[in-house]
Amino acid sequence: MAGLLNKFRDSAYRLPERCGRFTVGLLKPWELRQVARLEAENFPEPLSLASLLCLWLQPRTTYIAVRDGGKLTAYIGFQAYGPFAHTISMCVAGAYRRQGLGRLVQLAANRVAIKHGLRCFCGEVRSSNTPQLQLLRSMGWREGGRFPKFFGNGEDAIFVFCLLEDDGGG
């Protein structure tokens, strides 16, 4: 139960954080509908609302949101596996791209992961997702290999990772 309550305690992670008109904080369960909408609008294989809720409820899962007022503009979800933070998904709403929100939400996730005692962030990026790969490279992430036909539609994945530093990892 304590793990679930911590999903509402932004202050445990020095959140919410203001950045201009945007606020970064832990994603709340009532925002999962907005996540599902962004997934459906942006991903070839979006997670359903039911899947998102199941993930959010797991103690090892953390979701972080960037908001413009009450509107969700970006998010990242990750799960803790041993010393690793594994990205579930990350998205910036189309109208908010090229404003640094991807970097902002990833840096917040890095800080939260460090608070959880995690030492490395990792994930798989579609080989066609050049903007995400460029962002992560610019933040010091490395590519560890290619997984052929990793995604349901047959697309390859690029395995990416970043060692987290106490200064926020990036």
Tens-digit pLDDT profile for residues 46-87: 999 999 999 999 999 999 999 999 899 999 999 999 999 999
Is 14 inside a domain boundary?
yes
Q: Is residue 169 part of a domain?
A: no
Return the C-alpha torsion angle 151, 153, 158, 162, nearest 10: -50
Q: Give the N- to C-terminal CA distance of the chain in Å, as an integer.
A: 32
Could you tell me which residues are beta bridge partners of residue 7? none
**134 belongs to a structural domain:** yes
Q: Is residue 168 part of a domain?
A: no
Please check whether residue 170 lies inside any domain of the structure.
no
H-helix or E-strand containing 104?
A: helix 101-115
Domain count along the chain: 1
CATH code, domain with 63: 3.40.630.30
Query: Does 86 fall in a domain?
Result: yes
Cross-sheet strand order for the sheet of 157-163: 17-19, 22-26, 61-68, 71-81, 84-92, 120-126, 157-163, 142-147
| pLDDT confidence tier of residue 11, bands split at 50, 70 and 90 | confident
Residue 42 placed within a domain:
yes
Whether 87 is covered by a domain: the verdict is: yes
Q: Which domain holds residue 141?
A: 2-163
